[in-house]
Structure 1
Amino acid sequence: MTGAGQDLETADREIVISRVIAAPRELVFEAFTEVRHLSRWWGPEGFSTTTRAFEFRVGGVWDFVMHGPDGTDYPEWITWTEIVPSERIALLHGEHRDDPNAFASTLAFEPDGTATRIVMRTVFPTRQLRDEAVEKYHAIEGGEQTLGNLAAYVAELTQKERP
């Protein structure tokens, strides 16, 4: 799903996914930036995550393995490139440090009434890598499912906070 705010220079190399999550943006941001939360919801439906290292700071890394429902393990490596608390995160995501096929993602956390609109914009190095991610790895559906898992997880957290 692509939409407003696309850069014409990168439009053929990007994926933009957004979702409104019924929670304050500080909580949504926290769920996206603390490993104790991430490991509970990260990834498409049926996947689980094992974190090997996590340091949420510019230049820090999240080294983890996503376990697919079929038993396949996918090594993953994220380096945080920009952090604006409660507002924005930018990162580089690949299979390992110095992955030449790594892609850049920016996540914006925007107030939407009492909810939060999260907009995830991912730009791949080439159109071919974007197309492969969409066709072979179902990146659009996977991204939508991941944000759906985040919404469900945050809903659980807000239910627990209520008396």
Structure 2
Amino acid sequence: MATTSSGGEAAPLAADREIVISRLIGAPRELVFEAFTRVRHLSRWWGPEGFTTTTRSFEFRVGGAWDFVMHGPDGTDYQEWITYREIVPPERIALLHGESRDDPNAFESLLTFEPAGDGTRIVMRTLFPTKELRDEAVEKYHAIEGGEQTLSNLAAYVAELTRNETDLKGSES
């Protein structure tokens, strides 16, 4: 059975290799999608609670990459590499995520951004090469909690952007 959170359903054949995390975010999907497309946004919310991110290079395009380091609250640095495989604004982003460009243990993620009233439902489907790698991510690296915290950080960040935009519009009147 897949490890899921907040109502995601896994495909039966990949169920033992997949993590699905979903969250309703109170902001338009164009804004939520944009938060994934620019370093100035990503550096403000990416990662679980207590983590910070340093970007070495970033090119948001199909075939482009994001090379970065996540700094854990305990001082541990985690080398990270994301290659973008598909980008359909503002609907979905498919990517390959590992420790380096050629990481044999890299996992695939599909992020979908669905309109939900005035907000956006984001669904992160992560598929690992093996059940063992998925289990290690869940048990050793707390991937489910980390993913939920990351989406919580995103929700708080876009809420702040929305408030600031509303404040700006109010002060222009």
Give the TM-score band, short-chain normalised.
over 0.9
Unaligned 5+ residue runs, structure 2? none
Alignment partners' CA distance in 2, 1:13 and 1:62: 24
SS of equivalent residue, structure 1 residue 33? coil
Aligned equivalent of 1:115: 119
SS of equivalent residue, structure 2 residue 108? strand
Q: 2:8·2:20 contact (CA, 8 Å) conserved in 1?
A: no
TM-score, with normalisation over the residues of structure 1?
0.98
Deviation, 1:6, is: 1.7
2:54 counterpart of 1:50: yes
SS of equivalent residue, structure 1 residue 9? helix
Count of residues in correspondence between the two structures: 163
2:64 counterpart of 1:63: no
What does the per-residue CA deviation read over 1:20-75, in whole Å, with 9 as the maximum and x for residues that have no partner? 00000000000111111000000000000000000000000000000000000000
Deviation, 1:18, is: 0.3
| Same amino acid, percent of matched pairs | 80
Aligned equivalent of 2:30: 26
2:134 counterpart of 1:134: no
Deviation, 1:5, is: 4.1
TM-score, with normalisation over the residues of structure 2?
0.93
- Report the residue type matching 1:30 in the other structure: E
2:94 counterpart of 1:90: yes
Alignment partners' CA distance in 2, 1:146 and 1:4: 17
Q: Which has the larger radius of gyration?
A: 2
Runs of 4 or more consecutive aligned structure 1 residues displaced over 3 Å after TM superposition? none
2:76 counterpart of 1:72: yes
What does the per-residue CA deviation read over 1:134-155, in whole Å, with 9 as the maximum and x for residues that have no partner? 0000000000000000000000
Unaligned 5+ residue runs, structure 1? none
Please, what is the CA RMSD of the aligned residues? 0.8
Alignment partners' CA distance in 1, 2:97 and 2:138: 15
- Report the residue type matching 1:18 in the other structure: S
Q: 2:94·2:108 contact (CA, 8 Å) conserved in 1?
A: yes
